[in-house]
Structure 1
Amino acid sequence: MRKNRIKISTMLLLFTLALVSVNCSDDFLDVNENPNDPSISTPSLTLPVAQQSFAELNARTMTYLGNMLVVNWATPSNWSANSIYSRYDFSADDFANIFETSYVGIFKDLTYVENYTDASGAVDYSNYQVISKIIKGFQYQLLVDLYGDVPYTEANQRGDNPTPAYDDAETIYKAVIDDLGLAVDMITNAPENAENPGDQDIIYYGHMEEWAQFANSIKLRMLVRLSNTGQDSYITSEIAKIDANGYGYITSSTVANPGYSNSANKQSPFYDYFVQPSGAQTNRQDYTVASETTIEFLSETSDPRMARLYKPSASGGAFKGAVQSTVLPGTGFTSEDLSKVGPGLLVSAEQDQIIMSLSEILFIQAEATVRGYLPGGDTAAKALYEAAIEASFLQLGVADAIAEAEAYYDQGTQNVSWDSSTNKIEAIMTQKWIALNGTSSIESWIDLTRTGYPDFLPLPEESPGVRPVRLLYPASERSRNANNVPQQSGDDVFTDDPFWR
């Protein structure tokens, strides 16, 4: 595993830096700071801090939100937490850290890296700039998918422009796609003296060809997301550029690991959400249980991943889920009676934090092939689909994973077996939903909004009868940037569709 290559000194440095960052504060306006004239940091110190913040945000808030909205998880009757996920009464105060952390922390540090120039001219930091550009692209894609229009061209200037304008969502998407292509070109044409970040890069450790593959993978995800917009010629021309650069797509999961360990504030962020360094469960682990819908689907399709995604209930040893509701029966539906997050997701305090799994990019390629954006037709799409399922089995640690995966997808069941599935997009989305359970499940919510699959996911009884399609801009942003933030009402959570829907 990559984490074995990380030096202890690097680990200690990162967690110290996480406290200081680049003059870090709670406000990305920072009107008294000049981002082009910092006094204390360099790209080699700032990049890993940005990467760590990026990994933590995607591991926690966005993963939890995604799992709830695609009905992977529910809440037991002995807890009052999480009522927001049963009622969908999202407000401008909910999930604000997705927007805030992106601008206050991640973009702030990445922009510093991109703008940094070594005064002596002795060090070329173009590889750092490339990495920053790629991570920005990943995060901007998510912000557009979740919020729509966001600050882009005028963003991240801090004191030079504390109230940036909002850019059109589709314009940002295409600008990011261009930037990802530029990043790959920069890798291809990097100067011989370009500084390699090595262990200061906690994702790929300075292997720039892998960064190029990751950039191509993000770009393909965005292009496939445009499939309902009538822009097939644009999509195919941009995919042709990916083919031309020759790097291909990621061939193993993209993960972050600065040297996570079983110590306070140093555990892998997803694991830390559920397990204390002592091994005791957090409250979140107790009030996060399997959903009835997912348990039923995994059971009906004889899916061995169930024992990796969930734990048997403490009281009866069976796999049991609950409905998403604040009105639950009091007997047989408490946290001890229900399945909690399983051992394939909570492996250890040292586990890698997945950014984009191999399974996800294989499913994206399968969808692109079905839609005619990639060559090979049904034969190639089937091979990619089955490889994606195998990658999921391997990732979750299923025993004898390949043989078990083959037995699973050969069983002749709709939306499991490729040949038995009449709607290939539905089959891909259904299996992708399982594969992203507990990892990049925010993508499952976005896919559900885009495609309508899986189409059997129930709506909570207390909900307004429709699932959210976006988040509201934070109240803090409305306060400080009132002249630019788009006007919204609470109903927009359900009615203001993403531009690509």
Structure 2
Amino acid sequence: MKAKNIIKSTFILLSTSIISLSCSDYLDVNDNPNNPPISTPELTLPVAQQALAQLNGTTMMYLGQYLSVNWATPSNWSTNQEFSRYNITSTFYSTIFETSYLSIMKNLTYIDTYEDPTGAVDYSTYKAISATIKGFQYQYLVDLYGDIPFTEANQRGDNLTPAYDNAETVYKNVIDQLSTAASLALNLPENAEDPGTQDIIFQGDMSRWASFANTIKLRMLVRLSNTGQEQYILDQIALINANGAGYITENVIANPGYSDNLEKQNPFYGYFVSPSTGIQTSRGDYTVASENAITFLTNSNDNRLERLYAESANGGYKGTVQSTSLAGTGFTSSDLSKVGPGLLVDSAQDQTIMLVSESLLLQAEAVVRGYITGSNAETLYNDAITESFIYLNVDDAETAAVAYYTQDIENVSWEDSNDKIEAIITQKWVALNGTSSIELWIELTRTGFPANLPLPAESDGLRPVRLLYPQSEVARNSNNVPSQTAQDAFTDNPFWK
């Protein structure tokens, strides 16, 4: 899906110093005269949405790709050693926690609490969108950190040291808020303001926001499958069924008018290609395929291989292991496959937030577990694979997908897969490669699938299951941050594990 009628000047709004809340610390008390605290939901919404798209499409995606063993680092680069050594510290990927609160949640809270001084404008539409985006990101904060600030978060000077809430309590509060958001999106006041193109995700289509809220909620409910709360899950699924919006049927994307200019490129594309020149960035050179991913795709005759990965400069498709001690010959960035053309399209490409293939696989798992009735899990599974082929622009995608999933290969063919959950998660591992990749690490923690993913030689045989609270948060909120040790990153499982 392409975003329609995008206002190209949106990037001016995203970067101007007039927009409040976009850059300042979420605990700041003083007002910066160059960043005044007065804004409007119209100006603030695209800032929050772009921050969400960028964080999820770059930092979180990159982390997920390495921890789910889809990417590796070539021998001629010494960067990314923390992945091979699993050196998870309080500074490791701290941007996820910080940006979530300092930018995304802060801007959304501004929308939530904004009241038009004239009383003439109803911002219910913006509040429904805000609640949905908050639900999306709060889910990840709990999945990645556990207990987090929630009820006291983002109060600025009213509370400089927010308390931490229990992870499961936050999860269920978010699920309730997603239910409310979907209902509000479908039952707006007649005078509710239409965000139009200021909504860089759905351009104000509230039925699609309701479907998105339902899909995020389904993801969270499926995440609870190991917690023995079947009745709770069934009750919440019933609420989804009752609102009638269903689940997403198109990819959820953001696009405020990406272009081939400095700081205006699609965030994912800009990670690997320099603007205007088209020259590969350093990251583009040191990000290569894992041997495990290439082997799996090759052995299963998967045409997505040539879309997920590029042919190496020296010919063929080749990956390598995650290690800091690779031999030079045969393992350099010229020998190995890099990020492929199905992911790197152009500088103006849409930024993916959630794929419809993920939605279909979530529904398939919910059917297998008995949470959803009246649907066929095999059909949902096959449709998800087809959507993945289409997204990656595989030649003759639908025919190629059928040829793929009808092979007599376990975790490819539904009928030939003894463990249906393993098949679903394995196909999710392929379908979300390079997009919502943080899901792949989280799902690996939850299910243990894909099975037998290799561990880096330097990892001491343990795979991380969470991130540590960032040092910046420990310093400014020391009385509330839960105690943690380096070992917690490997042993302190999420509450839903």
Q: Find the aligned partners of 1:353 and 1:214 in 2 and give their Cα distance.
A: 16
* Counterpart in the other structure of 1:3: 3
Shift of 1:89: 1.0
* Counterpart in the other structure of 1:494: 490
- Indicate conservation of the 8 Å contact 1:313/1:337, yes or no: yes
* Counterpart in the other structure of 2:13: 14
Q: Find the aligned partners of 2:18 and 2:38 in 1 and give their Cα distance.
A: 10
Distance 1:39 1:442, change over 3 A: closer
Shift of 1:3: 2.8
Q: Find the aligned partners of 2:463 and 2:18 in 1 and give their Cα distance.
A: 39
Shift of 1:24: 3.9
Q: Find the aligned partners of 2:413 and 2:37 in 1 and give their Cα distance.
A: 58
The amino acid that maps onto 1:497 is: N
Match of 1:243 among 230, 241, 244: 241
Distance 1:25 1:8, change over 3 A: closer
- Segments of 5+ residues of structure 1 without an aligned counterpart are none
* Counterpart in the other structure of 1:282: 281
RMSD across aligned positions (CA): 1.3
Q: Find the aligned partners of 1:373 and 1:189 in 2 and give their Cα distance.
A: 26
Q: Find the aligned partners of 1:243 and 1:24 in 2 and give their Cα distance.
A: 36
1:436 aligns to 2:432 (yes or no)? yes
Q: Find the aligned partners of 1:28 and 1:191 in 2 and give their Cα distance.
A: 31
The DSSP-based 3-state class of the residue aligned with 1:354 is strand
- Indicate conservation of the 8 Å contact 2:20/2:37, yes or no: no
The amino acid that maps onto 2:439 is: E
Q: How does 1:66-465 map to 2 (within 5 A)?
A: 66-277=64-275, 278-315=277-314, 317-376=315-374, 380-465=376-461
Q: Find the aligned partners of 1:443 and 1:477 in 2 and give their Cα distance.
A: 24
The DSSP-based 3-state class of the residue aligned with 1:243 is helix
Shift of 1:39: 4.8
Q: Find the aligned partners of 1:132 and 1:486 in 2 and give their Cα distance.
A: 28
The DSSP-based 3-state class of the residue aligned with 2:253 is strand
Shift of 1:185: 1.6
- Indicate conservation of the 8 Å contact 2:13/2:19, yes or no: no
Shift of 1:21: 3.1
Shift of 1:14: 3.1
Spell out, residue by residue over 1:53-107, the C-alpha distance to the aligned partner (whole angstroms, 9 max, x if none): 1100001110000000000000000000000000001110111110000111111
Q: Find the aligned partners of 1:92 and 1:100 in 2 and give their Cα distance.
A: 12
Q: Find the aligned partners of 1:329 and 1:13 in 2 and give their Cα distance.
A: 47
Q: Find the aligned partners of 2:11 and 2:489 in 1 and give their Cα distance.
A: 41
The amino acid that maps onto 1:96 is: S
The amino acid that maps onto 2:343 is: L
Q: Find the aligned partners of 2:19 and 2:470 in 1 and give their Cα distance.
A: 23
- Indicate conservation of the 8 Å contact 2:3/2:202, yes or no: no
Distance 1:12 1:61, change over 3 A: closer
Q: Find the aligned partners of 2:21 and 2:147 in 1 and give their Cα distance.
A: 28
Q: Find the aligned partners of 1:473 and 1:178 in 2 and give their Cα distance.
A: 26
- Indicate conservation of the 8 Å contact 1:21/1:109, yes or no: no
Distance 1:4 1:244, change over 3 A: closer
Q: Find the aligned partners of 2:388 and 2:348 in 1 and give their Cα distance.
A: 20
Q: Find the aligned partners of 1:367 and 1:4 in 2 and give their Cα distance.
A: 33
Q: Find the aligned partners of 1:32 and 1:482 in 2 and give their Cα distance.
A: 22
- Indicate conservation of the 8 Å contact 2:135/2:177, yes or no: yes
* Counterpart in the other structure of 1:40: 38
| Structure 1 outlier segments of 4+, above 2 Å | 1-4, 11-17, 23-26
Shift of 1:188: 2.6
Shift of 1:23: 4.5
Distance 1:24 1:385, change over 3 A: closer
Identical amino acids, percent of aligned pairs: 62
> What count of residue pairs does the alignment treat as equivalent?
494
Q: Find the aligned partners of 1:464 and 1:493 in 2 and give their Cα distance.
A: 13
The amino acid that maps onto 1:194 is: A
Q: Find the aligned partners of 2:23 and 2:429 in 1 and give their Cα distance.
A: 37
Shift of 1:466: 1.1
- Indicate conservation of the 8 Å contact 1:33/1:158, yes or no: no
Spell out, residue by residue over 1:322-344, the C-alpha distance to the aligned partner (whole angstroms, 9 max, x if none): 00000101101000000000000
Q: Find the aligned partners of 2:303 and 2:186 in 1 and give their Cα distance.
A: 42
* Counterpart in the other structure of 1:56: 54
Shift of 1:227: 0.2
The amino acid that maps onto 1:291 is: S
